[in-house]
C-alpha cells in the first residue's frame, strides 16, 4: 500500500504547508496508529476502499480462467498434428507456460489481500471465463485459443476498470497480464492468416 501511503502523506504535507503544520503530524500519528491496529492483515490496510471479498472472488475467477487456459494450451501442444504443427505446438506450449505465470501472479495477490487462491479442479471450469475445448484440427485449436484470448482480454479490461485507483497494485498486475493476452491473440490471429 505504498501508493496510498504516499498519496496520504502528499495530501497531508500540502495541508501542513498551507494551513496547519501540526495537522501533518497528527496525520502521521493516525497513519501509524492505523498501521498498527490490524497488523495481522499484512498489506491490506484500512484505506482499502473496495469490498475485499468481492475483489478476491473476481481474482479467483481470473485464476480459474488462467488455469483452464494453461491446461487447454498444454493439451493442444501435445495433440497438434500435421506438417505445420511443430512451431504451432511450440507456441501453444509457450502460451501455456505464460498463462501459468499469470495464474501464479494472481494467486500471490489473492494471498496478499488475505484470501485463499482456489485451485480445486472441480471448480475450475465453472469459475473460468474461457472454456476448455479440445479439437482434432490444428486450425480449430488456433481458433479456440483465439476465442479464449479475446474473452480474457475483455474480462481483464473490465477488471482493470473495477480496480482502477482503488487498488493500483492489482490494477497494474492485471494491466501487465492484459498486454500479454493481447500479444497472444495477435500471434494466433497471424497464424490463422498464414
Ligand atoms: Fe493469461
Ligand atoms: Fe493468453
- Report the 10 Å Cβ neighbour count for 43: 13
Architecture in CATH for domain 52-193? Up-down Bundle (1.20)
pLDDT value at residue 9: 44
158 annotated as a binding-site residue: no
48, 102 in Cβ contact below 8 A? no
pTM for the predicted model, two decimal places: 0.83
Q: Please tell me the chain's helix, strand, coil percentages from 3-state DSSP, rounded to the nearest 5.
A: 80, 0, 20
Using the mean position of ligand 1's atoms as its centre, give its distance from the Cα of residue 194 in Å.
Answer: 24
First to last CA, the chain: 47
105, 154 in Cβ contact below 8 A? no
**What ligand is nearest to the CA atom of residue 102?**
1
The single residue listed with the C-alpha cell 482434432 is 136
Using the mean position of ligand 1's atoms as its centre, give its distance from the Cα of residue 186 in Å.
Answer: 14
pLDDT value at residue 60: 98
Using the mean position of ligand 1's atoms as its centre, give its distance from the Cα of residue 173 in Å.
Answer: 11
86 annotated as a binding-site residue: no
- Domain spans of the chain? 2-41, 52-193
pLDDT value at residue 31: 78
**What ligand is nearest to the CA atom of residue 148?**
2
CA atoms in the 13 A half-sphere facing the CB of 73:
27
pLDDT value at residue 23: 57
Q: Residue ranges of the chain with pLDDT lower than 70? A: 1-26
**What ligand is nearest to the CA atom of residue 99?**
1
pLDDT value at residue 7: 42
DSSP one-letter code for 99: H
Amino acid at each position: 500500500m505504498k501508493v496510498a501511503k504516499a498519496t496520504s502523506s502528499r495530501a497531508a504535507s500540502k495541508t501542513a504547508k498551507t494551513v496547519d503544520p501540526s495537522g501533518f503530524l497528527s496525520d502521521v500519528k493516525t497513519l501509524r496508529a492505523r498501521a498498527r491496529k490490524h497488523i495481522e492483515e499484512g498489506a491490506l490496510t484500512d484505506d482499502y476502499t473496495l469490498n475485499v471479498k468481492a475483489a478476491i472472488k473476481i481474482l479467483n475467477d481470473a485464476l480459474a480462467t488462467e488455469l483452464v487456459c494453461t491446461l487447454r494450451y498444454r493439451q493442444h501442444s501435445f495433440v497438434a498434428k500435421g506438417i505445420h504443427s511443430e512451431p504451432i505446438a511450440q507456441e501453444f506450449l509457450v502460451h501455456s507456460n505464460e498463462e501459468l505465470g499469470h495464474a501464479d501472479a494472481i494467486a500471490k495477490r489473492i494471498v496478499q489481500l488475505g484470501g485463499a487462491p482456489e485451485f480445486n479442479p472441480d471448480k475450475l471450469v465453472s469459475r473460468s471465463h474461457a472454456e476448455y475445448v479440445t479439437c482434432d484440427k490444428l486450425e480449430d485449436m488456433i481458433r479456440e485459443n483465439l476465442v479464449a484470448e479475446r474473452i480474457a482480454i475483455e474480462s481483464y479490461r473490465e477488471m482493470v476498470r473495477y480496480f482502477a485507483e482503488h487498488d493500483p497494485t492489482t490494477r497494474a498486475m492485471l494491466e501487465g497480464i492484459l498486454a500479454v493476452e493481447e500479444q497472444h491473440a495477435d500471434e494466433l490471429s497471424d497464424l490463422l492468416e498464414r
